[in-house]
């Protein structure tokens, strides 16, 4: 009876059978008992009373060619091969309220008969087929995708498969936020067929199941673009004046990242510096729904102007470049931490504040609150992580054959990293502390070339490959109108020092 149990379980998992199936199965069991007795019966089942079926059993005219009983007993379950069961006619369904007639010629193996009958009923169309419907899945505080799926009766294994998609899985792990809502299409058993996850007002991540596997793509809504620009002058702080000029937090952060390789926003900004940002405002049905990425930007710092223009290469990857086609993103950033001040600059003849003697200070100390994250200033590999003398807790990262960075006085290291780990620019490697010889919380940062210390604030930062050939020609065509707009706006800003301006152009 092991096979019967397996088939019953399959019914429960895939499609719950209608209540009439129980009556039909009872009829089959009766047939099997009749087969064991060596007879053939004609069974009629009243269809008008499903809960309490009325079964009438009368001898049939046909006889079963079962062979000698002694041979059947000797053959046991192998008798199927010697005395195969007869063919089974299809079940005839009478009209509603009538009778179900089952007429079969039974062979000598009742188990085989019952197994075959079960397979026939399992294959019958059922009125309880799985239905697929869309439902809303809301993300609550502390939710993972699997927790949210479980709360809505959706498959746990599907949540894992979606969260582990190579390109889009991070949207359902690190970027999953309280208050998000996604639409999920699933069957009655909770197997996910489709998922729509709005990322913002303009983009929706679509996940679809195809041949048992999930795939995804990001769909962009059709919008109207209106060119806009913002200009401002630094009087108090970059953040405060950028907000007053009309930039949002995301745009301010982007400006900081674009120019971070050339300008130290914690040290270099001063009153009178100016900035310009060019972007598109996005509208749907006449209503503003957001802003595009920054298309062009300029920053005048200490009377030196830096310009950046956004350009997508042949692979569709967008980066920022100087007007000459040089990438704004250098191999390294200037500072490893969002610091409050430089507590001790690079000085090879410094009087040590604890040892009270002249001792080379081969890096820059950036003061910051305890446990402020420390970031890798470039891509590389950790070649040392541990305790080292006056450095306290220290990390050394090798970026190339000749360039290494040192980070000292950490309170603790970032979880999951160790000697040999690869890190990327901006990745957290540890936290500000005051281990080793330190008078207060800060990170000691060294930039070494061929083992020799260089001033992190003034060393020339290596760049990455610039645009060339057809890519450079395409960039110049793309950049020309943006450069003209930056020329106009920087001149306007110079003429309006002390003010901020927000404008639009058609």
Residue 364 has pLDDT above 80, yes or no: yes
pLDDT score, position 200: 84
pLDDT in tens, 16-58: 444 455 555 556 666 655 555 554 444 344 343 444 444 443 4
- CA 333 to CA 375: how far, in whole Å? 10
Find the mean pLDDT for residues 440-468: 85
Q: What is the mean pLDDT of residues 435-454?
A: 91
- Torsion, Cα 150 155 156 157, to 10 degrees, reads -170
pLDDT at position 136 is: 95
Three-class SS state of 183: strand
Same domain, 45 and 90: yes
Q: How much is the pLDDT for 347? A: 81
- Structural domains of the chain, count: 4
Mark whether 9 and 119 lie in a shared domain. Answer: yes
Strands (DSSP E) found in 221-273: 224-233
Q: Domain check: are 422 and 365 in the same one?
A: yes
- Say if residues 343 and 365 touch (Cβ distance below 8 Å): yes
Task: State whether 119 and 23 are in the same domain.
Answer: yes
pLDDT tens-digit map of 157-208: 999 999 999 889 989 998 898 999 999 999 999 999 999 999 988 889 999 9
Q: Exposed, middle or buried by CB within 10 Å (0-12, 13-18, 19+), for 154? A: buried
Give the number of C-alpha atoms closer than 13 A to the C-alpha of residue 19, restricted to the C-beta side: 7
Backbone angles phi, psi at 204, to 5 degrees: -130, 130
pLDDT at position 24? 58
Q: What confidence score (pLDDT) does residue 187 get?
A: 93
- Residue 28, H or E segment: helix 20-36
Q: What is the pLDDT of residue 131?
A: 64
Least confident of 62-71, 293-302, 304-313: 62-71
CB 463 within 8 A of CB 327: yes
**What φ, ψ does residue 423 adopt, rounded to 5°?**
-130, 155
State residue 99's pLDDT score: 38
CATH code at 370? 2.70.70.10
The pLDDT assigned to 120 comes to 56
d(CA 1, CA 117): 13
Strands 380-388, 452-454: parallel, antiparallel or unpaired by DSSP?
A: unpaired
User: Three-class SS of residue 157?
Assistant: helix
The residue-averaged pLDDT of 333-358 equals: 78
**Residues 411, 349 within the same domain:** yes
Taking the alpha carbons of 236, 241, 243, 247 in that order, is the dihedral positive or negative?
negative
Tell me whether residue 336 is in a domain.
no
Same domain, 436 and 383: yes
Which span out of 96-110, 240-254, 345-359, 492-506 was modeled with the highest average pLDDT?
240-254
DSSP letter at 467 equals: P
Query: Residue 459: inside a domain, yes or no?
Result: no
Instruction: Look at residue 6 and tell me whether its pLDDT is greater than 80.
Output: no
Residue 74 has pLDDT above 90, yes or no: no
Last residue of a domain, one of 220, 240, 263: 220
Residue 335 resides in a domain: no
Work out the average pLDDT over 383-411.
92
Is the domain of 481 the same as that of 410? no
Q: Which residues have a Cβ under 8 Å from the Cβ of 110 and sit 6 or more positions away? A: 32, 33, 35, 36
Q: What is the pLDDT, as a whole number, of residue 26?
A: 58
Decide which of 412, 430, 454 is a domain's last residue: 454
User: Looking at residue 190, which CATH number applies to its domain?
Assistant: 3.10.450.350
- Whether 19 is in a domain gets the answer yes
Q: How far apart are CA 424 and CA 428, in angstroms?
A: 9
What is the per-residue pLDDT across 102-156, written as a single tens digit (0 to 9) for each? 444 444 455 555 566 555 555 554 444 456 789 999 999 999 999 999 999 999 9
Distance, CA of 289 to CA of 212 (rounded, Å): 36
For residue 19, what are the domain limits?
2-123
* Residue 376 forms part of a structural domain: yes
Residues of the chain with pLDDT > 90, as a percent, come to 41
Whether residues 483 and 423 share a domain: the answer is no
Least confident of 121-135, 343-357, 392-406, 425-439: 121-135
Task: Identify the domain boundary among 123, 144, 177.
Answer: 123
Asked if residue 128 belongs to a domain, the reply is no
The residue among 444 and 262 whose pLDDT is bigger is 444
The residue among 32 and 302 whose pLDDT is bigger is 302
Residue pair 377/339 in contact by the 8 Å Cβ criterion: no
For range 86-94, the mean pLDDT: 42
Q: What single DSSP character describes residue 400?
A: S
Q: Are residues 240 and 267 in the same domain?
A: yes
Same domain? 212 vs 229 = no
- Does position 494 have pLDDT exceeding 90, yes or no? no
User: What's the pLDDT score for residue 175?
Assistant: 86
Q: For residue 314, is it within any domain?
A: yes
2-14 and 110-123 helices cross at what angle (nearest 10)?
Answer: 10
Q: At which residue do the structure tokens 């057809």 appear?
A: 470
Q: Which residue has the tokens 């069991």?
A: 29
278 φψ region: left (φ > 0), alpha (ψ -120 to 50), beta (else): beta
The pLDDT of residue 341 is: 83
pLDDT at 15: 41
Q: Is pLDDT at 233 greater than 60 in this prediction?
A: yes
Q: In this structure, are 109 and 185 located in the same domain? A: no
> Are 293 and 194 in the same domain?
no
Classify residue 460: in a domain, yes or no.
no
- The confidence band for 313, taking pLDDT boundaries of 50, 70 and 90, is confident
Task: Give me the residue label for tokens 């003209």.
Answer: 484
Mean pLDDT of the chain: 77
In sign, the C-alpha dihedral spanning 109, 114, 120, 123 is negative
First to last CA, the chain: 78
Cβ burial of 115 (10 Å; 0-12, 13-18, 19+) is middle
């Amino acid at each position: 009876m092991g096979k019967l149990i397996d088939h019953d379980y399959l019914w429960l998992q895939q499609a719950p059978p209608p209540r009439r199936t129980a009556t039909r199965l009872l009829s089959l069991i009766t047939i099997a008992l009749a087969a064991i007795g060596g007879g053939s019966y004609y069974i009629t089942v009243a269809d008008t009373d499903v809960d309490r079926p009325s079964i009438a059993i009368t001898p049939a005219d046909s006889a079963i060619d079962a062979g000698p009983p002694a041979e059947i007993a000797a053959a046991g379950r192998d008798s199927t091969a010697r005395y195969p069961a007869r063919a089974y006619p299809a079940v005839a369904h009478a009209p509603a309220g009538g009778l179900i007639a089952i007429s079969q010629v039974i062979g000598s193996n009742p188990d085989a008969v019952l197994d075959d009958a079960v397979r026939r009923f399992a294959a019958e169309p059922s009125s309880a087929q799985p239905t697929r419907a869309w439902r809303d899945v809301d993300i609550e505080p502390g939710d993972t995708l699997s927790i949210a799926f479980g709360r809505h009766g959706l498959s746990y294994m599907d949540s894992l498969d979606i969260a582990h998609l190579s390109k889009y899985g991070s949207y359902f792990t690190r970027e999953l936020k309280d208050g998000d809502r996604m639409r999920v299409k699933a069957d009655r058993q909770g197997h996910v067929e489709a998922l729509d996850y709005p990322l913002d007002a303009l983009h929706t991540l679509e996940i679809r199941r195809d041949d048992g596997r999930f795939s995804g793509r990001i769909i962009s809504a059709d919008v109207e673009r209106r060119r806009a620009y913002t200009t401002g002058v630094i009087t108090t702080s970059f953040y405060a004046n950028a907000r007053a000029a009309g930039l949002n937090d995301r745009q301010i952060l982007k400006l900081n990242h674009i120019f971070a390789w050339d300008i130290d926003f914690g040290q270099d900004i001063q009153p009178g510096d100016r900035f310009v940002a060019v972007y598109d405002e996005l509208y749907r049905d006449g209503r503003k729904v957001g802003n595009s990425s920054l298309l062009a930007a300029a920053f005048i710092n200490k009377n030196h102007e830096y310009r950046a223009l956004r350009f997508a290469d042949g692979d569709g990857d967008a980066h920022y470049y100087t007007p000459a086609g040089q990438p704004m993103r250098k191999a390294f950033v200037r500072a490893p931490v969002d610091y409050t001040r430089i507590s001790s600059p690079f000085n090879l003849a410094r009087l040590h504040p604890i040892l009270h003697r002249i001792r080379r200070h081969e890096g820059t100390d950036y003061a910051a609150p305890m446990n402020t994250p420390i970031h890798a200033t470039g891509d590389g590999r950790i070649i040392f992580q541990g305790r080292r003398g006056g450095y306290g807790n220290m990390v050394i990262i090798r970026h190339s054959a000749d360039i290494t960075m040192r980070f000292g006085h950490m309170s603790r290291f970032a979880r999951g990293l160790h000697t040999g780990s690869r890190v990327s620019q901006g990745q957290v490697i540890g936290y500000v502390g005051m281990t080793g010889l330190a008078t207060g919380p800060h990170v000691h940062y060294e930039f070494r070339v061929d083992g020799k210390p260089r001033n992190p604030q003034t060393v020339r930062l290596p760049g990455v490959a610039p645009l060339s050939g057809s890519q450079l020609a395409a960039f110049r065509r793309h950049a020309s109108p943006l450069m003209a707009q930056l020329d106009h706006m920087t001149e306007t800003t110079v003429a309006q020092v002390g003010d901020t301006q927000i404008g639009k152009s058609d």
